[in-house]
Amino acid sequence: MTATVTEAGPHGVGGAVAERPAPHQTLPDVLRERALTARRMVIDMAASPTGCHLGGSLSAMDILIAALDRTASSDDGSQVVLSKGHAAAGLYAALYVTGILPEDPVPHYGAPTHHFTGHPGPAVPGVRFPTGSLGHGVPYALGWALSRRLSGSGGLGIAVAGDGELQEGLVWETCQVAAAQQVGNLVLFVDRNGGQNDGLVADISPQPRLAERFEAFGFEVREADGHDVAALRELLEPDRSAATRPLAIIADTVKGKGLRPVEGKAASHYVTIDAARATSWKRIVR
């Protein structure tokens, strides 16, 4: 496994420029560094006039960092689709620190002059599909994975969905198709942070025995710590070109992860803060 080391932007503590990872750093060190920088960027976007979906961006961050590194460090045509498109701020930050997005999105998030909208669209480098209407990213990723299979590449179609998003029927319709067509190079991450817009998934529409559900659909299933970025990255390493069962990775995460004042709180779903609070939060985020 090789690391793709990229320059980080001006999103260190208190606005200081983050250090470029040293050459001797291991890939896990690099990925953790990227995730921390990206979390600070998300806090900065929460301090923009529009605010952002903070809690879900932070919960999905380690998944995104791992998945995007998988695509950036291979030329097999793998593609990541953020199906829970409301975590756009997290995606933009993750794309930037991975070196896929050349422009720092923070100064332009939500602005009329730029494409960094509250839900991502294909005008943003590194984004192939429009997401935000939940459920669609999973079949996009399935189609992409199938295209890689047809073209003989070992590339993955990687969808990152929320656990609340699993309430959309389209997700399960797609799982049915993926298993039936034996698209083993589809990887579906579930960012299981337990929250959704109006409260807790467990209160609104619980999902008991989720792993068994995916297994019953014909998926391979892994359950993982959704904040162990190195372990998540390892799960994406095996060659899946001959796999016949799609892979579901149920990643247990914490809404607002890394930012103790909001961790696990439903109110972190959408947050707008001022600059002083952003500075304070960037000091303590981990």
Partner 1 sequence: MTLPGRTAYREELTSIAADNPRVLCLEADLGGRSHPFATAYPDRFFNVGIAEGAMVDMAAGLAAGGYQPFVSTFAPFAALRAAESLKLALGYLGAGITVVAPYAGVSGGWFGTTHHCLEDFAVVRAIPGVTIAAPYGEQEMRAVIRRAARTGTPHYVRTGRNAAPVSLPWQGTDPPVVNWDDAGARPDRTCLVSVGEVGTELCLAVRRADPGLAHAHLCFVDQPHLELAAAELAGRYDRFVVVEEHRPAGSVGSALALLLSGRVVRSVNAGEGWPSRGGSHEQVLDQLGLNEAAVWEALAPWEERPLGAGAEMGTGNGTGKGKST
Q: Which of 10, 12, 110, 143 binds partner 1 (CB under 8 A)?
A: 143
In degrees to the nearest 10, what's the CA dihedral of 115, 118, 119, 121? 0
Q: Which of 92, 96, 140, 217 binds partner 1 (CB under 8 A)?
A: 140
Of 33 and 168, which CB lies nearer to partner 1 in the complex structure? Answer: 168
Long-range contacts of 275-279 (CB under 8 A, 24+ apart): 275/47, 277/47, 278/43, 278/44, 278/46, 278/47, 279/14, 279/15
Sheet with strand 186-192: strands edge to edge: 79-82, 157-162, 186-192, 247-252, 220-225
Secondary structure of residue 145 in the 3-state scheme: helix
Q: Which of 4, 147, 279, 280 binds partner 1 (CB under 8 A)?
A: 147
Contact set for partner 1, span 59-88 (CB under 8 A):
77, 79
Contact set for partner 1, span 224-253 (CB under 8 A):
none
State the nearest-atom distance from the C-beta of 51 to partner 1, in Å: 24
Please name which of 168, 163, 182 lies closest in space to residue 55, comparing C-alpha atoms. Answer: 163
Q: Which stretch binds partner 1 (CB under 8 A): 24-32, 96-104, 124-132, 260-268?
A: 124-132
Q: Which of 7, 173, 203, 225 binds partner 1 (CB under 8 A)?
A: 173
Secondary structure of residue 83 in the 3-state scheme: coil
Q: Is 157 in the site for partner 1 (CB under 8 A)?
A: yes
Give CA–CA dist 245/185, Å, rounded: 8
Q: Which stretch binds partner 1 (CB under 8 A): 36-44, 121-129, 212-220, 248-256?
A: 121-129
Interacting residues toward partner 1 by CB under 8 A: 77, 79, 121-122, 128-130, 133, 135-136, 139-148, 150-151, 157, 170, 173-174, 176-177, 180-181
